[in-house]
């Protein structure tokens, strides 16, 4: 498909407006809310007491595998694949919450394709940015939540004969997170710590969640932990990585949880509760990622 044909297809899909998808397979329910709160470490009792779902769960209620029905996003994605833009990486996700979803109601997603921009040269290769909106409706016609979602569909570079390219998924380093990445480079697992009340927190942020202080320091963690939860990522392909790989949530004795890859053992041997220790893996000339390997017995 040519550039002009891609643009025409994108225009056609945008003109469809909002297209309703299949309703969620199950109504909003307490067991799933309970799982989610436990996984997130959210101890606020108000959700289950009042029969309300945490707003960030919006997508949980309507995700189905395999996905049911078609959406206006499917054709542009297939056309980009066909034109060689087979790589995909999510670049933006903005959610807006209108009201709480209530236990017992069934949510229905509606998708609106809004934009296809490109071709653009990016660090990953030449690609198109596709943007769409999903609005979730509950009982009645008022929206519960909506999401703007943008992906980059890119033409993966061929590695043959080139020197090792920079690792394509660089973390966003800012004044709140720089200490963490500098720590990784020097072989330290640094956990943000409130300089006033001493509370540790991860991921880093601008304010203490207990006393609201903005005075920050960090604690160097022991580098030991246990696996709290994990997923094995098989698909889709991730730039710069070989699948499958394991993404774990590691509980540290210091009292916080950290997300990182579990490496050094086959994905099939990973299990919740296993003892891990941190290892520092250089991804390119600039970036070192803390990963987790099984602790020797």
Q: By CB under 5 A, name the binding residues for Zn ion.
A: 194, 196-197, 199, 208, 210-211, 213
In the complex, least distance from residue 259 CB atom to Zn ion, rounded to whole angstroms: 23
| Of residues 82 and 203, the one with the C-beta less far from Zn ion | 203
Question: Please, are residues 275 and 265 in contact by the beta-carbon 8 Å criterion?
Answer: no
| Of residues 114 and 219, the one with the C-beta less far from Zn ion | 219
Question: Please, are residues 141 and 155 in contact by the beta-carbon 8 Å criterion?
Answer: no
Eight-class DSSP state of 100: P
Positive or negative, the CA dihedral 102, 104, 105, 106 is positive
Tell me the two tokens of residue 64: 């189905």
Residues in the chain: 297
Tell me the two tokens of residue 157: 């570079």
In the complex, least distance from residue 200 CB atom to Zn ion, rounded to whole angstroms: 10
| Of residues 57 and 256, the one with the C-beta less far from Zn ion | 256
d(CA 62, CA 56): 13
Question: Please, are residues 191 and 254 in contact by the beta-carbon 8 Å criterion?
Answer: yes
| Of residues 80 and 208, the one with the C-beta less far from Zn ion | 208
Q: How many CA atoms lie within 13 A of 262 on its CB side?
A: 31
| Of residues 151 and 194, the one with the C-beta less far from Zn ion | 194
In the complex, least distance from residue 219 CB atom to Zn ion, rounded to whole angstroms: 13
Closest among 293, 283, 162, 153 to 223, alpha carbons compared: 293
Phi, psi (rounded to 5 degrees) for 140: 90, 180
CA distances from 6 to 85, 107, 113, 118, 177 (A): 12, 32, 13, 10, 39
In the complex, least distance from residue 216 CB atom to Zn ion, rounded to whole angstroms: 9
| Of residues 191 and 208, the one with the C-beta less far from Zn ion | 208
| Of residues 88 and 216, the one with the C-beta less far from Zn ion | 216
In the complex, least distance from residue 87 CB atom to Zn ion, rounded to whole angstroms: 42
CA distances from 210 to 71, 197, 198 (A): 43, 8, 10
Closest among 106, 102, 107 to 49, alpha carbons compared: 102
In the complex, least distance from residue 191 CB atom to Zn ion, rounded to whole angstroms: 14
Closest among 214, 207, 204, 132 to 171, alpha carbons compared: 204
In the complex, least distance from residue 258 CB atom to Zn ion, rounded to whole angstroms: 20
In the complex, least distance from residue 46 CB atom to Zn ion, rounded to whole angstroms: 23
d(CA 179, CA 39): 26
| Of residues 185 and 210, the one with the C-beta less far from Zn ion | 210
């Amino acid at each position: 498909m040519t550039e002009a044909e891609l643009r025409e297809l994108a225009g056609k899909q945008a003109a469809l407006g909002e297209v309703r998808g299949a309703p969620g397979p199950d109504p909003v329910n307490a067991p799933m809310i309970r799982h989610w709160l436990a996984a997130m470490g959210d101890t606020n009792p108000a959700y289950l007491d009042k029969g309300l779902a945490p707003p960030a769960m919006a997508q949980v209620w309507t995700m189905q595998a395999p996905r049911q029905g078609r959406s206006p996003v499917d054709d542009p994605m297939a056309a980009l694949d066909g034109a060689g833009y087979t790589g995909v990486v999510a670049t933006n996700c903005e959610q807006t919450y209108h009201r709480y979803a209530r236990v017992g109601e069934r949510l229905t997603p509606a998708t609106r394709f809004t934009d296809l921009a490109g071709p653009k040269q990016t660090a990953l290769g030449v690609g198109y940015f596709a943007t769409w909106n999903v609005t979730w409706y509950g009982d009645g016609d008022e929206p519960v939540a909506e999401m703007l979602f943008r992906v980059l569909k890119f033409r993966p570079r061929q590695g043959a004969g080139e020197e090792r390219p920079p690792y394509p998924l660089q973390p966003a380093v800012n004044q709140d997170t720089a200490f963490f990445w500098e720590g990784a480079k020097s072989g330290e697992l640094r956990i943000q710590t409130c300089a006033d009340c001493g509370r540790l927190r991860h991921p880093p942020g601008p304010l203490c969640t207990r006393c609201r202080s903005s005075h920050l320091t960090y604690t160097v963690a022991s580098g030991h932990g246990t696996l709290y939860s994990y997923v094995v990522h098989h698909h889709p392909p991730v730039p710069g990585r070989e699948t499958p790989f394991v993404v774990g949530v590691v509980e540290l004795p210091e009292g916080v949880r950290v997300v990182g890859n579990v490496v050094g053992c086959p994905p099939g041997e990973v299990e919740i509760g296993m003892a891990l220790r941190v290892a520092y893996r250089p991804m390119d000339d600039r970036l070192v990622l803390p990963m987790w390997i099984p602790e020797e017995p």
